[in-house]
Amino acid sequence: MNVGLAIFWKDVLIEWRSRDRVVAMLLFSLLVVMIFQFSLPGGASADTQVYAPGLLWVAYVLAALFGLGRAFTLELENDALSGLALAPAERGWVFLGKALANLTILAPAQAATAFAFGLFFALDLTAVAAPLAGIVLLGSLGLCSVGTLFSAVAVRTRFREVMLPLLLLPLLVPIVSGSVRATTVLIATGSVPFEPIQLLVVTDVAYLIVCFLTFDYVLDE
Amino acid sequence: MIRWTGILLAALVTACTVLIATSPVDARQGVIANILYVHVPCAFAAYAGFLTTAICSALYLVRRDERFDRIAMAAAEVGVLFCTLNILSGPIWAKGTWGQWWVWDPRLTVTLLLWFVYLAYLLLRSFTEGSERTARFAAVYGLLGAIVIPLNYFAIELFGGAAMHPDNLEGDSLGPAIALPFAASVVTGLTALWHLVLVRADLEHRQAPPDL
């Protein structure tokens, strides 16, 4: 477990010093929001609020893909990946450390994107900020768990930039589906629906367990 | 083994053709309803293929036996083939009965998703270098992809009733005149799957470089 915490701290510290992934993800997701303004009939406005939860999660997923792609690229330098593989602990803890670091690095970009969405779509998200943060956390947990695992896979394949979205997007559908439905109901009624949250929790737990157990085989050389 | 599954498949195809040709035509949908004997068995065969990939992937990770990797790969390829046939036959039936080629029905959507998952599995195999690494990475993905299979089966229940596809079949829901050719077509579909998996796995074994 200490190994997991050490890796989490290492990744967060590297990000704190460079701030490259947070800034890149933030700018990217804001650009996506701006593109929605041009792609929606009549632009992003109160009339198109119905699309907001879906578009918000599209921005989150695209930004996460952008950031997750970099999660293991750093470890290729000076063969740091071999160092991770030699960590004196169950490799599942290495996975958990990396996944938690990715979740932490993604959070500021998600918060800023939600704020921008609130402005552009004339949505008052302050009243539902706490439950919305909970839904985003649940969705991001699943996203970062499979994302971290397949970032480690994709980084050692040909066409690594293409492989990560190809591997990840089909597996993210249950998470995106649950998150969008939960966010839609939350924004419309102010209450948190049970069924999408149930789908999110079940998918998160299944993904976390399988990723924790199989990370050993991904890092193996 | 391959020869026997081949003979069994030929016999089943013959019996199935006779049974379908002599089965009654659906009173409301007409002859187009006979796609049932291709569409549903293809779906079952695809499910079985993907499930085999997941089980053999887990067995490969535990035992590191290349035979499991070959069967996992073969089952994914043949599963994708049956899933493609299922996705292609569905719209033909849909156009005849619902009046549209494609409807974003939960089961249809999740089947398409399953197709993408296992296409990604096959792409991962072709984009990874080194046979051992390819097998390991593919096994991990094959195992995670299996999480989508129950989602597909329970799609209609999960997404709450707004579905064009019927609920999961229960006993006696088809009637004896259709149930027999339907059951025969399902058995034929599954036999075709196992036969093609065995042929493909055998081909892969023959193509593998010899151990020095």
Reported as a pLDDT band with limits 50, 70 and 90, residue B153 is: low
Residue B60 has pLDDT above 90, yes or no: yes
State the average pLDDT for chain A: 87
What would the DSSP string read from start to end of chain B?
Answer: -HHHHHHHHHHHHHHHHHHHHTSPPBTTTBGGGGGHHHHHHHHHHHHHHHHHHHHHHHHHHHH--HHHHHHHHHHHHHHHHHHHHHHHHHHHHHHHHTS-S----HHHHHHHHHHHHHHHHHHHHHHS-SHHHHHHHHHHHHHHHTTHHHHHHTHHHHTTT--SSPPPP-TTSS-HHHHHHHHHHHHHHHHHHHHHHHHHHHHHHHHSPPP-
Cβ contact A59:A176 at 8 Å = no
Å from B31 to nearest chain A CA?
35
CB nearest A158 (choices: B113, B129, B145):
B129
Q: How crowded is residue B22: how many other Cβ atoms within 10 Å of its Cβ?
A: 10
For residue A174, what are its two tokens? 């249950």
Nearest CB among B113, B133, B143 relative to A210 is that of: B143
Q: Say what the pTM is.
A: 0.87
User: Does position B171 have pLDDT exceeding 80, yes or no?
Assistant: no
How much is the ipTM here? Answer: 0.85
Residue with tokens 């402005």: A119
Between chains, do B158 and A199 touch, taking CB under 8 Å as contact? yes
pLDDT 10s digits, A43-85: 666 667 778 888 899 999 999 998 888 888 888 877 787 888 7
| Per-residue pLDDT at A20 | 84
Domain extent for A28: 2-219
Residue with tokens 């829901």: B173
Q: How many CB atoms lie within 10 A of CB B58?
A: 20
Contact A195 B133 (CB under 8 A): no
CA-nearest of A95, A114, A58, A69 to A207 is A95
Average pLDDT over residues B199-208: 88
Name every residue whose Cβ is closer than 8 Å to that of residue A72 and which is 6 or more positions away in sequence.
A81, A98, A151, A152, A154, A155
Q: Where are the domains of chain B?
A: 2-21+31-207
Distance from C-alpha of B160 to C-alpha of A195, rounded to nearest angstrom: 10
Q: How far is B104 from chain A (nearest CA, A)?
A: 14
Q: Could you tell me the two tokens for A207?
A: 């993904």
Q: Count the domains in chain A.
A: 1
Taking contacts as CB-CB distances below 8 angstroms, the residues of chain A near B133 are 156
The mean of the pLDDT values for chain B is 85
